[in-house]
């Protein structure tokens, strides 16, 4: 998302971050298979380190996007009431017909990481389109 926003919508000046709802891998780099798949598409995930969603994130960010319904439910429970409407599924921004949730690639077949990147790119472009529309309307 960060790379696509910088390349395709720099005028929006977006701040993008990533965090999880569980602390299993805090401080770890992304999975080597995901880093390799992302690198093949020109995305550098090397600087990223896992962190957990913090209470301040609900104040800092205009949108908090979950990859699946389980994480969405966790985020809704953690969010202050005034921030709950800003917690949504990421794939809501993907074109119609895409799945509702990003599947977990870690247990899938050899193409799992590529398929996840396809979904993420699709939703990211849809989100950028939505944000541009909102910026024009403001």
Return phi, psi of residue 16, to 5°: -125, 135
Quick one: pLDDT at residue 107? 81
pLDDT of residue 103: 92
CATH of segment(s) 2-137:
3.40.50.2300
Instruction: Say what angle helices 112-137 and 32-40 make with each other, to 10 degrees.
Output: 60
Q: Which of the four pLDDT bands, split at 50, 70 and 90, describes residue 58?
A: very high
pTM: 0.91
Q: CA 124, 114, 17, 89 torsion: positive or negative?
A: positive
Domain extents in the chain: 2-137
Q: What is the pLDDT of residue 138?
A: 83
- Residue 108 confidence (pLDDT) above 80: no
């Amino acid at each position: 998302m960060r790379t696509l926003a910088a390349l395709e919508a720099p005028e929006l000046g977006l701040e993008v971050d990533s965090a999880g709802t569980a602390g299993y891998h805090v401080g770890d780099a992304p999975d080597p298979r995901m880093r390799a798949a992302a690198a093949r598409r020109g995305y550098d995930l090397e600087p990223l380190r896992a962190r957990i969603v913090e209470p301040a994130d609900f104040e800092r960010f205009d949108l908090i996007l979950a990859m699946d319904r389980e994480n969405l439910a966790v985020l809704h429970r953690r969010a202050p009431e005034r921030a709950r409407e800003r917690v949504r599924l990421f794939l809501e921004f993907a074109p119609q017909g895409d799945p509702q949730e990003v599947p977990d690639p870690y247990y899938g077949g050899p193409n799992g990481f590529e398929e996840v990147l396809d979904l993420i790119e699709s939703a990211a472009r849809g989100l950028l389109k939505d944000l541009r529309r909102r910026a024009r309307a403001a």
